[in-house]
């Protein structure tokens, strides 16, 4: 099961709370209030699913969303230099 961004040690439950506090419904906006998803990026599909469904624990996705299918999930933020 998947319940967190491993790279930044943020659970989806923590991210859900922040999203609710800031009335956020998309990954890029949530990344403006806390760090997650900017290393391997594998958690982003799960976070978007969390935002869409409210669930915070997921089975491993057989085929994670690909950047070309959902480019809005993989947009770099201004000043994000960790991908360089
Ligand atoms: S698991 Fe979230 S950036 Fe790697």
| CA–CA dist 47, 11 (Å, integer) | 10
Cβ 35 under 6 angstroms from ligand 1: no
What tens-digit pLDDT sequence spans the chain (84 residues)? 999 999 999 999 999 999 999 999 999 999 999 999 999 999 999 999 999 999 999 999 866 565 666 666 666 555 555 544
| CA–CA dist 84, 72 (Å, integer) | 19
CA of 44 to the centre of ligand 1 (A): 7
CA of 35 to the centre of ligand 1 (A): 10
| Residue 10 CA, closest ligand 1 atom number | 2
As a three-state string, the secondary structure of the chain is CECEECCCCEEHHHHHHHHHHHCCCCHHHHHCCCCCCCCCCCCHHHHHHHHHHCCCCECCCCCCCCCCCCHHHHCCCCCCCCCC
CA of 23 to the centre of ligand 1 (A): 22
**pTM score, two decimals?**
0.76
């Amino acid at each position: 099961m998947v319940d967190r961004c491993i790279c930044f040690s943020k659970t989806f439950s923590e991210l859900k709370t922040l999203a609710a506090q800031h009335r956020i419904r998309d990954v890029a906006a949530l990344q403006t209030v806390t760090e997650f998803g900017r290393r391997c990026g594998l958690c982003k599909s799960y976070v978007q699913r969390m935002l869409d469904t409210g669930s915070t624990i997921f089975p491993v996705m057989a085929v994670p969303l690909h950047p070309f299918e959902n480019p809005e999930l993989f947009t770099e933020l201004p000043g994000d230099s960790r991908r360089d």
